[in-house]
Structure 1
Amino acid sequence: MSIRALAGAAVGVTFLLALAAEAPIDANRSSDAAEASTDTEPEREVRRIELGGVRVRLDDDTRQVVTVNHKRGHRARVTAWRNRGHGWKRVRTTRHGHIGYGGLVPGPKRKQGTGTTPIGTYTMKRAFGIARAPKRAKLPFHRVHKGDYWVQDNKSRFYNQRRHKSAGGFRWWLPSSAYNSSERLRDYRGQYAWAIVIDFNRPDPVRHRGSGIFLHVNGDGATAGCVSAPRKFIRKTLAGLRPGRDPVIAIGR
């Protein structure tokens, strides 16, 4: 057997052992510790309002909202709102937002690899970035390291989570063209300067529905399913979000 074949076999064995482990430990989960198990909370009563032309589902503790109002093509108006007890006030807005190249689709009907952005209201509890966290940012923030991936491997128990390749448990070596390939975060230095995780298909993901939906910095145009906005908008929004105000993002037409 050649050296290359031996190396490939070793990688495959490592992956199988990681999947078989009862409780794998991710040494790189500083800000996302036990994210798959600790995010589950009792359901709270919700109400529905409209902000900026978008329907929003709120619970009584939500005081910060980002709305994404699809205009045409892949363009959208993205607006940050806050409520300090005297009604909802617009904080900032941009007409230069973008959604996925596949347009909008109801969240439960979304399929991985279609470039669609899920309609609905989703919590935003954490963020990450290749750049340092903005000053005054309070959401748990992970500074991206070499080897960090967002798992999109449907055979992995870590589907739709951030994970370092050294921790194993997913096929990080698959080529980017493969359906089950995971996203190497440092490959997107512009877009992932700062990214806020949108809790679509989390924390109990449905396989093949999609993984890695974020609010991030604009790239060259349409996204692969995320929502993007200008760099200044993302920086200021991330700096202003507060965990105690239960921020959500509402995506609609």
Structure 2
Amino acid sequence: MRSLQAPLLAAALIATTLVLAPGSPGTGPAQAATDSVVLDGVTVHPRRGTRQVVTVRHTRGYHARVTLWALRQRGWVRRMRAADGRIGYGGLVAAGRREQGTGTTPLGTFRLPWAFGTHAKAAGWDLGYRRIRAGDFWVEDNGSRFYNRYRNQRQGGFRWWLPASDENGSERLSDYPVQYEYALVTSFNHRQVRHRGAGIFLHVNGRGATAGCVSAPRWFLRRLLTRLDGARVPVVAIGR
């Protein structure tokens, strides 16, 4: 989702806070990974095997606190935190009630399956990754079967020539070199419900609020890509 931002600096807050996982004292990570848990006030609904969580806790206005957590033998440990995260200019809304073009950020827990950005994939990045090329779009054309999918204009199948102001205009990824220097795709609306919204990412901060994504400082996204492990089934949980 296109952002309205430009980069800002923020200090890294790294801590070792422990939050006990649900269950008995002997409960291990594999057993606890599918139970809901509250981290930094955000209710998280992990997927089977989830051992990494990014929480997004709304603080004020369009600002949010973004935290990476890892599941250890006795509970969830805070690994990295950024105080200067952002949400959409329209605020937060239940995922099932979200509408395209409202600038709202969906509440809930979503997978973080892969990433994209302006750089070549670096050694140590475990998630699937796609480097932005000329003609790459995120499809927001409600008439296309590729709605809410990454696609190049040469492949066709969507009206890439429509302006961004059009309700079916798609997002040319190269138009956002700051925000999409590092970006993580979320599983929001992976079933392609039309007019619900497309392109909800976790990406680099810009100047202000986003148009529905979550963003965090550049340092946070860069470090996050080195830490996320697809085998640990990472998710992002967005809450109030």
- Alpha-carbon shift at residue 85 of structure 1 (Å): 2.4
The residue number in structure 1 matching 2:227 is 240
- Alpha-carbon shift at residue 205 of structure 1 (Å): 1.3
Deviations 1:33-59 (A, max 9, x none): xxxxxxxxxxxx942110011000013
Q: 8 Å contact 1:215–1:227 — kept in the other structure? A: yes
Supply the RMSD in Å over aligned alpha carbons: 1.1
Q: What pairs up with 1:1-253 in 2 under 5 angstroms?
A: 46-202=34-190, 204-253=191-240
TM-score w.r.t. the length of structure 1 is 0.80
Structure 1 outlier segments of 4+, above 3 Å:
none
The residue number in structure 1 matching 2:25 is none
Q: 8 Å contact 2:136–2:150 — kept in the other structure? A: yes
Gaps of 5+ in 1: 1-44
Q: 8 Å contact 2:132–2:174 — kept in the other structure? A: yes
- Alpha-carbon shift at residue 239 of structure 1 (Å): 1.1
Q: Distance in 2 between matches of 1:90 and 1:235?
A: 17
Q: 8 Å contact 1:134–1:238 — kept in the other structure? A: no
TM-score w.r.t. the length of structure 2 is 0.85
Q: If you compute each CA radius of gyration, which structure gives the higher value, 1 or 2?
A: 1
Residues matched between the structures, number: 208
Q: Distance in 2 between matches of 1:68 and 1:120?
A: 10
Q: Distance in 2 between matches of 1:218 and 1:133?
A: 20
Q: 8 Å contact 1:196–1:215 — kept in the other structure? A: yes
Gaps of 5+ in 2: 1-32
- Alpha-carbon shift at residue 134 of structure 1 (Å): 4.0
Secondary structure at the aligned position of 2:80 is classed as strand
Higher helix share: 1
Q: 8 Å contact 2:116–2:183 — kept in the other structure? A: yes
Q: Distance in 1 between matches of 2:59 and 2:208?
A: 14
